[in-house]
């Protein structure tokens, strides 16, 4: 028999969801059968699986250690994870632990939230089995900070995603509760997402652009069209020019982008459709421009940065986060390119 005490970070999720994470190799039919037969109980009573877990709840698994080990992914029977024990050899191994990982650039952290400044070249989430994404980096960091973080039926997760070569703010939840309210905040757009990007051409003034996004799954691209088409989704983006610079005979504009709808590749494709592709963007920008930036600065990714998140005042958001403004400094290369072009914004940003 194994007994599990629900911690504050695991509270708020359904019992069946917790069990599916704690025993990831177990078929759902097996879990529900064990609940019906009272081989898995909640607070000493029969449970259906839909119950919302609270801090301090007690789950008992009347299963053999061999069975538990098998359904936890082959862990040895002696690895009594999630029951309050803390011996070093009993900790669940995170896929990223043991591999050399760059330090996370942490913008904000407390008991519930972790906000990081994602570098270029890092996936937000795994695309393949062997990938080590930001999620694995965060898991490795939190497991080093708290050895019990990954031992139970909870895994920290991210609430927003950025393209591999887009830099900037990514929000992660360290508890079920924080994942729930932050995911809801993003879904219901109860926050303001601002990006910075350098684009080709001179954008004369503010733009509020609308259109429809059509996905091309075969080539991992999207196209923006003005008329609704089959499978297209409506998008909306607002742009404010901050500075202009003439570089090598061609105008460039530093834009502040307000992402109103948040679809994959939206900013890059929308700007390209307006004749202002993002500098360094090999997918949606011109090859000549990309080559010029690579030759001059060694740039190998688009200059698009998730710069600022301003949280709203939704009633379900804890009081301490309402109206909070989070900001990620520009990557050093992005800043150096702007300075080389003669723009003042990086100097102002550095002072802040």
Question: 310, 335, 333, 329: which is closest to 321 by C-alpha?
Answer: 310
C-beta pairs of 51-54 under 8 Å, 24+ apart in sequence: 51/14, 51/15, 52/12, 52/13, 52/14, 52/15, 53/6, 53/10, 53/11, 53/12, 53/13, 53/14, 53/15, 53/18, 54/6, 54/11
Helix (H, G, I), strand (E, B) or coil at 171: strand
Matching residue, tokens 């599990």:
4
CA 41 – CA 45 distance, rounded (Å): 5
Helix (H, G, I), strand (E, B) or coil at 256: strand
192 and 258 Cβ atoms separated by less than 8 Å: yes
Residues 6+ apart with CB under 8 A from 292: 248
Query: What size, in residues, is the chain?
Result: 352
Enumerate the active-site residues. Answer: 163
167 and 118 Cβ atoms separated by less than 8 Å: yes
149 and 94 Cβ atoms separated by less than 8 Å: no
Tokens of 80: 């009594």
Dihedral (CA of 332, 334, 339, 341) sign: positive
120 and 165 Cβ atoms separated by less than 8 Å: yes
């Amino acid at each position: 028999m194994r007994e599990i005490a629900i911690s504050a970070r695991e509270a708020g999720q359904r019992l069946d969801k917790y069990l599916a994470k704690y025993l990831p190799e177990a078929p759902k039919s097996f879990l529900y059968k064990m609940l019906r037969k009272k081989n898995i109980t909640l607070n000493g009573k029969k449970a259906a699986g839909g119950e919302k877990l609270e801090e301090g709840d007690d789950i008992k698994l009347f299963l053999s250690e061999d069975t538990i080990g098998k359904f936890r992914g082959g862990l040895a029977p002696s690895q009594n994870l999630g029951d309050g024990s803390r011996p070093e050899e009993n900790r669940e191994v995170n896929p990223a632990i043991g591999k050399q990982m760059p330090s996370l650039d942490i913008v904000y952290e407390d008991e519930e939230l972790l906000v990081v400044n994602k570098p270029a070249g890092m996936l937000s989430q795994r695309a393949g089995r062997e990938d080590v994404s930001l999620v694995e980096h965060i898991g490795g960091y939190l497991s080093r900070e708290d050895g019990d973080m990954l031992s139970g039926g909870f895994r920290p997760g991210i609430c927003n995603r950025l393209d591999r070569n887009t830099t900037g703010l990514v929000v992660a939840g360290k508890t079920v509760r924080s994942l729930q309210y932050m995911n809801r905040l993003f879904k219901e757009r109860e926050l303001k997402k601002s990006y910075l990007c350098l684009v080709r051409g001179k954008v004369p003034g503010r733009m509020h652009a609308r259109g429809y996004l059509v996905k091309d799954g075969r080539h991992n691209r999207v196209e923006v069209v003005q008329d609704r088409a089959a499978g297209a989704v409506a998008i909306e983006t607002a742009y404010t020019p901050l500075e202009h610079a003439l570089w090598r005979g061609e105008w460039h504009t530093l834009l502040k982008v307000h992402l109103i709808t948040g679809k994959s590749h939206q900013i890059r494709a929308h700007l390209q459709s307006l004749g202002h592709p993002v500098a360094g963007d090999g997918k949606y920008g011109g090859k000549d421009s990309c080559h010029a930036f690579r030759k001059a600065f060694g740039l190998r990714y688009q200059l698009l940065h998730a710069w600022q998140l301003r949280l709203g005042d939704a009633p379900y958001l804890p009081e301490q986060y309402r109206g909070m403004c989070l900001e990620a400094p520009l990557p050093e290369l992005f800043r150096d390119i702007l300075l080389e072009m003669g723009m003042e914004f990086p100097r102002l940003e550095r002072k802040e």
